[in-house]
Structure 1
Amino acid sequence: MTTYGGYSRTTYGAAGGGDDGGGFFGGSQGGSQAAKPVNDESLRPVTVKQIIDAEQAFGSDGPFRIDGVDVTQVTFVGMVRQINPQTTNITYRLDDGTGIMEVKLWLDPDKQDSESRAAFTEEQYVRVWGRLKSFGNKRHVGAHVIKPVADFNEVNYHLLEAAYVHLFFTKGGLALGGEGGNAAGGGGGNEGGMFVDSNDAFLRNASAAAKKVYQYLNQSEESNEGVNSHNIARDTGLSFQDVTAAAEELLGHGKIYTTLDDETFAILQGF
C-alpha cells in the first residue's frame, strides 16, 4: 500500500513483464538496492507531463524529482501511438493527453511465446508500471508491466489520482482559504481540503447556470454513466448552450467529470 498523508491506496495487482532492472514487483534485491529507503521505491501515479518536467540532478545518473520528492517507480495511463518491436525489447510511444513518452518493455530471452511479443495495438489504452530512465538526455520509462485498460473510467480515475497526489505534495494536504470544516466537505480527514474550492465557496461565486447544473447532477439518481447535456437541458429548463457553458465552468473547478462522451457528466463525489 502506498500512503500520502491521510490518503492511502493499495498498489495495483499486476505481475509479469520485463523488469528493466527494477525488481519492484518481486524477486530478491541485494546489495545497495535493498538498502534504499522505502520512499525511494514508492509507486507514484503521474502524467507524462510530470515525467517530462521532472527535475534530475547530476545529469543522467541522478534521481528524478517531482514536486520536490524523489521518484523512481511510476504508473500512468496512455494511448498507444506507435509500436517498435526489436529483438530485445518493444518500444511503445504512449500519449496521455499531456505529452508523449517512450516506454520500453524488455523481453525475456527464455520466453519467445506470443505473450512476450507486442500484445497491444495502436490507438489502444494501456496502463504502465515502471521505472524512470534517462539515456542520452532522452527520458523513457522502463516497463515492469503493461496491461490493457478494460474500462475507460480507469483513464479518468488515474488523472484524478495523479492530481490528488500532486496537490498533496504541493499544498500539504491542508484546507485553503480559511474555510475550516466546510473545506473538508463535512466528511472528515484531509481529503476534501486537497482542493482550493470547497463546495460552499464555489457555489457562492459560481454562475446561476453552473449552480443549477451542479445541484441537478448532485441530486440525480442516474448511474455512474452520468447524465447527457440534452437531458440536463430538458430537466432544468436551461438551453443547451447554457448547459455547455455551465459544464465547462464545473469542469474547470473539478466539480464534475465527463463519462461516456464529452457531453455526458457526473458529479465528482467527495470534492
Structure 2
Amino acid sequence: MNFGAYGDAGASQFGGGGFMPSPAPGHDNQYGAGGGGQQKGRSQNNSLRAFTIRHLLKETANVEDDRYKADGHDITTVTIVGKVTSYREQSTRVLLQLHDGTASMEVCSWVDDADMQAQKPIEWQVGRYVRVYGNLKTFEGKRSITAFAVKPVTDHNEVTYHFLQCVMQHLHLTKGAPPTGQPLAPGKAAPYGSTPAATAPYGAPGGGYGGAAPAAAAPAGGDIHSDLKAVYNLPHATAAPNGLSVEAAHAELQRMGRAHYNLQQVMQACEYLAAEGVLYSTVNDTTFKSTGA
C-alpha cells in the first residue's frame, strides 16, 4: 500500500537512533514556518514528533517558557491528526478545535489574505480530518498548538498510521530501539514488541507471516465491545486493507467462544465503536477497520 507523503515520517526517522530533523523554514518548504509558527532566534535544529492530544495535555512537562519535554526528551515541532470540531475565522488567523479520540485541543493558524481567498476554509471545515504541524504553546494555563502547516487528510489510513507512529516513538524513547528480529538466547527476556512466536521459523504454526494464524484467545470477562476490539486488532484484521466485514467479525467471535452474540448485536456494537473512534468504516457500512485507539 502506498501511504503517500505521511509515510515519509515513519520508522525510518529512527534509523540513527534519533529524531528526523524538521526542515528549515522557507516559502518552498511545506513544513517551514508560517506567519506565527516560528520565533526569531529559535534553534533551527528542531525535531519532529507525532503525539496524541492527550499526551500533549497530560504527559508533557513545560520546563521553561516555550520549552517542553516528553518521555525525558525536549520536543520542538509536533504533529497531530484529528477531526475538526470547531472553526473560527478571524482577520489574521483561523482557530480550529481538533479532537483525535483521546482529547481536544485548540490550533491557531496564522493566515494572510491569499490564504483566505484560497481553499483552506473548505479543507478545514468541521467534520474533516486534518494533520497539523506546529509548536506547543501555553497561555493562561491552557495549551494549544501554533500551526505552520495544516493539511487535509485524504486517506483515512493516515489516522491509523499516526496512532501507530505515536506508539512507536513513545516506546522507542522509553524502552529503547525496536527488536532486530534475531533469535533470543535461552532464558533471555524478549524486548518490547516481540512475542514468543516471533522467534519461531517462518512457516511454523504461529511463526511469522508464513504460519497459520492461531485462533484468538477470548479476553477474560469481556463484553461484546472489548471482544470486538480484540477481533479488529488481530494481525490479519489490521493487515487487511479494508479490515473485516461484520460477518467475518461474527465468525471470529464464534471462534473465540462467543457464540451467544448474534449478527445484529455485532453490527450494533461495530456502529457504537465507530462512533467512539475505535473503528471506522471502509468500503461500505458493514466493513470496519481498527483505528488503533
Task: Please give the TM-score of this superposition, normalised by the length of structure 2.
Answer: 0.60
Indicate which of 195, 198, 218 corresponds to 1:185.
198
Distance 1:229 1:115, change over 3 A: same
- Tell me how large the CA RMSD over aligned residues is: 4.6
Aligned to 1:33: 43
Aligned to 1:233: 250
Distance 1:31 1:232, change over 3 A: closer
Indicate which of 162, 167, 170 corresponds to 2:171.
167
Alignment of 1:51-200 (within 5 A): 51-53=56-58, 54-58=60-64, 61-108=65-112, 111=114, 113-115=116-118, 118-119=121-122, 120-173=124-177, 178-179=189-190, 185=198
Task: Please give the TM-score of this superposition, normalised by the length of structure 1.
Answer: 0.65
Alignment of 1:196-235 (within 5 A): 206-207=217-218, 223-234=240-251
Distance 1:259 1:224, change over 3 A: farther
Asked if structure 2 preserves the Cα contact closer than 8 Å seen for 1:17 and 1:105, the reply is no
Q: Kindly provide the CA deviation profile for residues 39-98 of structure 1, in whole angstroms up to 9, marking residues without a partner as x.
A: xx111010101111210113xx14111111111101111111111111111110111111
Structure 1 residue 114, shift from structure 2 partner: 1.6
Aligned to 1:50: 55
Q: 1:33 is paired with a residue of what secondary structure?
A: coil
Distance 1:229 1:82, change over 3 A: same
Q: 2:170 is paired with a residue of what secondary structure?
A: helix
Higher RCO, 1 vs 2 (CA within 8 Å, ≥6 residues apart): 1
Asked if structure 2 preserves the Cα contact closer than 8 Å seen for 1:225 and 1:259, the reply is no
The residue type equivalent to 1:103 in the other structure is V
Structure 1 unaligned blocks of 5 or more:
24-29, 188-197, 252-256
Structure 1 residue 259, shift from structure 2 partner: 5.1
Aligned to 2:205: none
Of 228-237 and 176-185, deviating more is 176-185
Structure 2 unaligned blocks of 5 or more:
1-7, 24-28, 201-207, 221-226
Question: Identity rate of aligned residues, in percent?
Answer: 30
- Matched residues, number: 228
Distance 1:235 1:6 in 2: 40
Distance 1:236 1:157, change over 3 A: same
Distance 1:11 1:240 in 2: 52
Asked if structure 1 preserves the Cα contact closer than 8 Å seen for 2:21 and 2:48, the reply is no
Distance 2:37 2:253 in 1: 56
Distance 2:240 2:129 in 1: 24
Provide runs of 4+ in structure 1 moved above 4 Å. Answer: 5-13, 174-177, 180-184, 217-220, 234-238, 261-268
The residue type equivalent to 1:83 in the other structure is Y
Distance 2:196 2:36 in 1: 43
Indicate which of 14, 28, 40 corresponds to 1:4.
14
Asked if structure 1 preserves the Cα contact closer than 8 Å seen for 2:66 and 2:137, the reply is no
Asked if structure 2 preserves the Cα contact closer than 8 Å seen for 1:77 and 1:128, the reply is yes
Distance 2:32 2:177 in 1: 35
The residue type equivalent to 2:190 in the other structure is E
